Structure formats: structure tokens, C-alpha cells
Structure 1
Amino acid sequence: MNYLLRGIGVVTAVGVFSLLAFSLPSGDAHGDGGGNVLPRTTNKAWQQECASCHIAYSPAFLPKTSWRRLMGGLDQHFGENASLDPATQADILRFLEANAADSGTSRMGSRVMQSMGANQAPPRITETRWFVRKHDEVSKSVWSRKSIGSAANCAACHRQAEQGVFDEDTVRIPKQ
């Protein structure tokens, strides 16, 4: 009888472990999926304000210095006035800095920083060496397709970009 109970216990433990192991996302403790899925970091003001015009780009795509520069020039944000009240701006900046590429909170950020010089602070994600290398097979004619518009429109090809998923298996490049 002891062997039977022990056997049932082992089978149950293996079943529970398997269920957990295969239902949890892969990646490190930050839920970073081996570098192709961004950590699920969020901030209400960042999501509300930034995502009102474009996807709320992950802080892991740029270093702190870049985010400081971007947030300090919201009145001229890529040709638009994206000014915010000082409290909201400070809240978003704190969030961006805490989760920036050089904050050490994600594999994606580490990869972005590995391809960047220590003093580099690109104003655009699309100007990082990491981005250029990851998209080197995409021609300028693809970026200019009407359905894409520019390299900054991640969601045009990365269908799960808003969820932080940039796995190559989920990429669908629009034909037009």
C-alpha cells in the first residue's frame, strides 16, 4: 500500500510540475522570454500618455540618458508638441529611467546596451545599433510601405508589440 501511495504521489508531483513548467512563460525572472519578449513593466501615465499617439515603447529600448533627453524635449517631440504637466512628466521619466536599457532590469536592455558605446544616447530607438542589426534585412522600400510608414511603427510587423512580444515567429510584414 505504501508503494501505491508513493507512486500516486510521484505521478501527481510530476503532473503538477509539468503543468506549471509548460504553462509559465519562458525566460528569466523578468519574464523576458530569452530576449524576444520584454518584461511586463507598466506605468499608468506612460501607458495613457505615450500610447495615445504610438505604442508605448519599452523603456528597455533606450538608455536613461536618451529617455531624459526625450522627456526634456516633449514640446518638440519629433515635430509634435507632446508637453505634459510637470508631475506626469516626472512620473513617466522615473518609470523610464528605472526600466531603461542600462538599468539592468531585462535581457533586451542588456542586448541594446551591448551594441552601444558607453556615452551614446540615441534620440530614436531606430538609431540604436541593436535595432539596425536586428532589422538589417528590411529594405527602405519596406519601411516606406503605406501600411508601415516608418521603422518606428513596430506594431505594423510585430503583431504583438503592444504586449512586448518581438519574437521573429510573430512577425508578419505587410505586402503594401
Structure 2
Amino acid sequence: MKLGIKTVRWIAGTTLLTSALGVGMVGVVNVASADEGWKIFGHDDDDEYGERRNGALKQTDNSPARQLYIDECAACHMAYPTGFLPERSWQKMMGNLDNHFGENAELDPTSQQAITQYLVDNAAENSSNRRARKFLRSVSDNATPLRITELRYFKKKHDEVPDRMVTGNPDVGSFSQCQACHGDRAEQGYFDDDSVNIPNHGRWDH
């Protein structure tokens, strides 16, 4: 049986299209499998993606209130990302600056009010960031935590890090010293697991 030129072309075109679709579907499956692989192998259950997409806990603004927060608070310790704690925690902390973890950190009323408002406006409840929401979910409704390091989510993220690398490390000293291992970008809310570098121990790739 002889086939016309148009028929031959139609068969050839259909074959090529079917092959292309087959390759495309394999590619889709491979991409999906790779994405699952990232989660399976511990690449932070989408936190890093959430940081890049949502602005890393929204600590990159240059508002006067944020600058005041940095000037006053980062003079003594890291300016922690505001999405780490709920509103009530920031309010309680800022209302007791005369005994701020054993230190007197009192501010003039105007500065105290401005910083408190900034912290509340950008607290965990008011953040669209995935990591902030996970911090918030780890806080029970009747709790008002003041130490970020005592939150369940924080402990979960650091449960494989031996104390000797942190509290027993003279160049770190405490799990509250985020910038010691996460670098200068910690104040902006970037905590990519792949960039962790523990002083005296090197890259953390567990």
C-alpha cells in the first residue's frame, strides 16, 4: 500500500510530537523528584526558598524605625529578625528594659516607643515569611517567650549541632550568637543551611 506524501508527513510529525511529549514528561518527573530529594536530604523544608521569595523575614527595609532599632539594640547584641517572636513577646521585652536579661538597657521614651512599634508591626504574626510562621507555630497560646533560643522551632533547627561547637566554642559562646555561624547576613534574616560556617570547625554540612 502506497502512502501519500501528506500522510507520511502526518505520521512523522505525530511520532516526533509523541517523542517530545515523552521527553518533556520525563523532565517534569525528574524535576519533581529532584525537588522532593532536596526535602528528603534536609535542605530546610522550603525555608530558604521562602526567605528568597519573601525577603528573608523582611529585614531589608531602610526605614528610620529599623535604623533606630539597629543603632540602639545592635550596639550590644545582634539586631534579631523581628519575625522570630510574637507581638506580646516584643512588648514585654521592651516594657522591661531596666532588667534586660540582667542588664539595664533603658532608652528615652521616644526611642522606646518607636522601636516597640517597629517590633510589633513586624512581629511573627504580621510576617508572610514561612520561617516566621514556623517560629510562631512553635509558641503556645499562653506563652510569652523572651529567648529565641528556647523556642521549639529554634531547638529543632539546631538539634544536631553539638554543644561543644557552640557553648563550648570561645568564638561562639551561645546559640544566641547567630552571626557567629550564619555571618553578617543573619541580621537581615538569612539563615541558609548551606552557608553555615562554625568558627574553629568550618562548614556545617550535616
TM-score range, shorter chain: 0.7 to 0.9
Q: How many residues align?
A: 148
Letter in 2 for 1:93: T
- Please, which of 133, 149, 161 is the counterpart of residue 186 of structure 2? 161
Structure 1 residues 157 and 149, CA, compared in 2 at 3 Å: closer, same or farther?
Answer: same
Q: Is the counterpart of residue 33 in structure 1 residue 52 in structure 2?
A: yes
Any residues of structure 2 matched to 1:14-33 within 5 Å, and which?
32-33=51-52
d(CA) in 2 for partners of 1:56, 1:149: 17
Greater helix share, 1 or 2?
Answer: 2
Any unmatched runs of 5+ in structure 1?
1-25
Q: CA deviation at 1:34?
A: 5.5
Structure 1 residues 34 and 129, CA, compared in 2 at 3 Å: closer, same or farther?
Answer: farther
Q: Is the counterpart of residue 51 in structure 1 residue 70 in structure 2?
A: no
Any conservation in 1 of the 2:99–2:105 contact (CA below 8 Å)?
A: yes
Q: Is the counterpart of residue 172 in structure 1 residue 172 in structure 2?
A: no
Cα distance per residue 1:138-159 (max 9 Å; x no partner):
1222222100011110011001
Any conservation in 2 of the 1:122–1:128 contact (CA below 8 Å)?
A: yes
Any conservation in 2 of the 1:102–1:113 contact (CA below 8 Å)?
A: yes
Any residues of structure 2 matched to 1:1-176 within 5 Å, and which?
32-33=51-52, 37-39=56-58, 40-42=60-62, 43-144=66-167, 145-159=169-183, 160-175=185-200
- Secondary structure of 1:111 counterpart: helix
- Secondary structure of 1:54 counterpart: coil
Q: CA deviation at 1:106?
A: 2.4
Q: Which has the larger radius of gyration?
A: 2
Q: Percent identity?
A: 43
TM-score by length of 1: 0.77
- Secondary structure of 1:38 counterpart: helix
Q: In the alignment, which residue of structure 1 is the partner of 2:18?
A: none
Instruction: Show structure 1 runs of 4+ deviating over 4 A.
Output: none
d(CA) in 2 for partners of 1:95, 1:27: 25
Letter in 2 for 1:175: N
Letter in 2 for 1:85: D
Letter in 1 for 2:52: G
Letter in 1 for 2:136: M
d(CA) in 2 for partners of 1:127, 1:59: 16
TM-score by length of 2: 0.66
